[in-house]
Each structure stands twice: as C-alpha cells, then as structure tokens.
Amino acid sequence: MVSAQARAEIDRMVAGRREAAARPSSPRTVEQDRRDWEAAARLTVLPKGARFQGVDAGGVKSEWMEMPPVNRDRVVLLLHGGGYSSGSPRTHRKLAANLSRAAFARVLTPDYRLAPEHPFPAGVKDALRAYGWLLDRGVAAGNVVVAGDSAGAGLALSMLVALRDAGAALPRAAVLMSAWTDLTTSSPSHGTNRKLDVQVTRQGLREAGALYMDGRDPADPMASTLFAKLAGLPPLLLQVGGDEVLLDDSRLLAERARVAGVDATLRVFESMWHVFQFHAPEVPEAQAAMNDIAAFIRAQFGD
C-alpha cells in the first residue's frame, strides 16, 4: 500500500507519459533533455538552510552543498544521474541537501563531462579527479562516502573498482540509489517490470548506453559493474524501487558483491519508481529511504 503522496506522484508521471505519447512523434535531442531538466531544477525549492557554492575540484567544475550543522571533515561525493548524458549539480541540489542532512556532512557534486561529447571513460576520470582533489585537500579517504543515483550510482561503482585496481585508498562506504549497473540491459526485471515502470524503458537505456559507450562493448566491466570483480569494495547500501526495470541491476549486484565478500545491504522499496528519493521529504517512502541512508552512514562512522 503506497502513501497518498506517492500515489499522486505516480499518477502525475503516468499522465505525463500519456500526454507525451499523444503528441506528434519527434525524436528528442540530448540538448532538449538537458534544457528541460535544468529549467525544472530552477523551480525546485531547496530545504531551509541549504547553502551551495561552486568550486574547482582538481579541474572538474563542482558544487559544495551544506545543510548546517555539519561535520566539515566528513564528505559525501555525490555523482549525479542522467543516463551519462544529462544532469548536473544544479539538477541534484535538493538531493544533495537531503544527503548533507542525512550524513551530517558536506556534499561535493562534480559536474563531470557528459556523453555524447565526452563518452566513456571521461566521467570515470572526472570522478577520480574530484576524489583525488578531496584527498589532496586533507580529507581522509575514510571520511568520504561516495553516493550516486542511476547512472551516477554506476559511475560511483566504476570509480571504486578503478581505485581498488590501482591500490588506492577507498572511501569508507557507498550509497547507491536505483543503480544502473548493466548497460547490456539483460537483467530479468526489464521484462517483468516493463509495464510497471513509469519512467524508464529498456529502449531508452540502450540509447543512453550507446551514447556513453560510443562503440565500445556495453559489457565492459568498468562501465557495466555488474560484471566487474567486486572483492575488496567498501560497504554498499543499495536502494531501489520495486517497480523499476532496473530492480535486478541492484539485486544481482548485491548478490554478487556478497559472494565476493563485500558487505552489501539491499533495500527494495515496494511500488516505488526510479530514484524516488528525489521526492523526500514530501513523499513518506522517499523520506524513509533518506532515513535509511542516514542510519547506514551513521553506522559506518560509529555515530
């Protein structure tokens, strides 16, 4: 049974999809998607007390977000979603503010390079540069939690795998919301949840993945981390909506991580949609997810 607020949001998304389907078909461009999302973000009301500021993080344009009071030694490195071709620190300010409050930490959101102008592995390199900048600024690796939603969650895992392979210091933990871990879109939930997902389609993911990979194999384990060796990664919290086509991208990743000896916690929020956490605190289920993130991070730091 979903809350009235969640039902209203689901109905709104369904109506929007029907309206779009009724319009004369004309393929949307990446530029249009970016402009529309940025325009919508300008209308988003941030939580009271949220403070943000631009910063150059080792050559990667980024943004700090704080919800005081915070422990300034603690940082969440937030890698935004958007199919690797859209999204920015601006589109994710509200999520960053809620993560800052949940983690009692500053949040750094890199404006990493996007496809198709900058295909794989540009985003991975930018995430690594931003993380390295934090360490160079005196932030201990053990005081960093990396977080991401959708493609950003996949990017967070790519970064962790690259750091582990290089023998570098790893963040304390990772929070992965509606993670996109399989660019081949082969997970069973693409079929079982096809009619339930009100936002994401297999075709849309394949198109976004093709832009990101630019002719490379979508099964490359550095991009499709479901196929990567996962041993040695830090504790993971995976949250996913029960109605998502990407449900099994999280479920299978959690299973394989556990087999590899990784502390992986999977939370499936029944009847929820892709990155429903965006709707905290207005939607109770989204706020419950943020509370779950807060508890996970507190546990990692022994708070």
Measured distance CA(141)–CA(215) in Å, rounded = 34
Catalytic-residue membership of 190: no
**Coil vs helix vs strand at 191:** helix
Detail the DSSP E strand segments found in 67-164: 71-79, 105-110, 144-149
Indicate which residue of 92, 190, 274, 279 is catalytic: 274
Q: Say how many CA atoms lie within 13 Å of 56 toward its Cβ.
A: 2
Annotated catalytic residue, options 178, 244, 279, 285: 244
Instruction: Name 63's bridge partners.
Output: 54, 109
Active-site hit among 150, 158, 178, 224: 150
Look up residue 207 and give its amino acid: E
Closest CA to 132 of 57, 29, 212: 57
Q: Is 80 a catalytic residue?
A: no
Determine how β-strand 105-110 pairs with β-strand 144-149: unpaired
CA 24 to each of CA 19, 190, 205: distance values in angstroms, whole numbers, following the listed order: 10, 27, 22
Say if residues 63 and 111 touch (Cβ distance below 8 Å).
yes
Is 85 designated active site?
no
What positions carry a catalytic annotation? 150, 244, 274
